[in-house]
Amino acid sequence: MAVAVVLIGVVMSAGLWQVIRFARIWVNDPGLATVCLAIGAVVVLGPMQAHRWVAARRQDRADRFRRLTERPARHDLDGYRQLLAALRRRSPIALAQLSSRPALIDGLFFHARRGDLRRELQPFADRLRKCPNPVTRALASLHPDGHVCEAAVSAMVERPRPEYVPFLAERAVEWVEPVRRRALAGLHRMLTEQPARYRPLVARELSRFAARRHGPALAALLDQVSASRTG
């Protein structure tokens, strides 16, 4: 306690001494005192203003991304192109926002299957081996090149996340067999290891794939995992 009191006293004495010194400078050289005061204000207030500017910029980007997720209708190709351009600079939080909007995901997958977004998906494919992150892994899986899709699926399966479920389900019903098998195996592992977490998410995807040729395989996987747990 005594040490703390002494330290406080030293700090207060040093502060008082600096005030006295500054007062003497102000009397003897007002111009120099003004410059010192301005420099001090910049040193103290500069980081605060920079933090506020960065926070404002982040909020502005978040607002713009939110507007992009609300705008595209299924056939709004330009809207999806803008969305993918924005996702190139977004964090995994954006992937969670994207995967939680089934109508938005449905339109994105629709245009990806048609090959309308090959140019916009290419940057994610290029980054898959160099600096993969959750957004890169998920969106690279929509690339029309089967080898890129398979690598992206493998990357998602190695580090599973709930946000990956729509993308793995999309690949689990596609026509390229190696990719389809890898996605189904990954979903099977996720459902087996954490059924409470992943079963509702996979079940939500079934309605989108009911009419797809390989859609029944996804439903059979869910039934198989459910039966193994109740059997």
pLDDT tens digits, one per residue of 90-129: 677 788 888 888 889 999 999 999 999 999 999 999 999 8
Sign of the Cα pseudo-torsion (210, 215, 216, 221, in order):
negative
Q: How confident is the model at residue 49 (pLDDT cuts 50, 70, 90)?
A: low
Rg of the chain on CA atoms, in Å: 28
Q: How confident is the model at residue 215 (pLDDT cuts 50, 70, 90)?
A: confident
Placement of tokens 């195996």 in the chain: 185
pLDDT tens, residue by residue, 157-176: 999 999 999 999 999 998 88
The pLDDT value recorded for residue 96 is: 87
Q: Determine, yes or no, domain membership for 63.
A: yes
Q: Determine, yes or no, domain membership for 4.
A: no
Q: Determine, yes or no, domain membership for 176.
A: yes
Name the region of 115 (left: φ>0; alpha: ψ -120 to 50; beta: rest). Answer: left
Domain total for the chain? 1
The pLDDT value recorded for residue 211 is: 76
Q: Determine, yes or no, domain membership for 155.
A: yes
DSSP 8-state symbol, 144: S
pTM for this structure? 0.71
Q: Domain containing 222: what range? A: 56-230
Q: Determine, yes or no, domain membership for 179.
A: yes
pLDDT tens, residue by residue, 192-214: 999 999 999 999 888 888 778 88
Q: Determine, yes or no, domain membership for 190.
A: yes
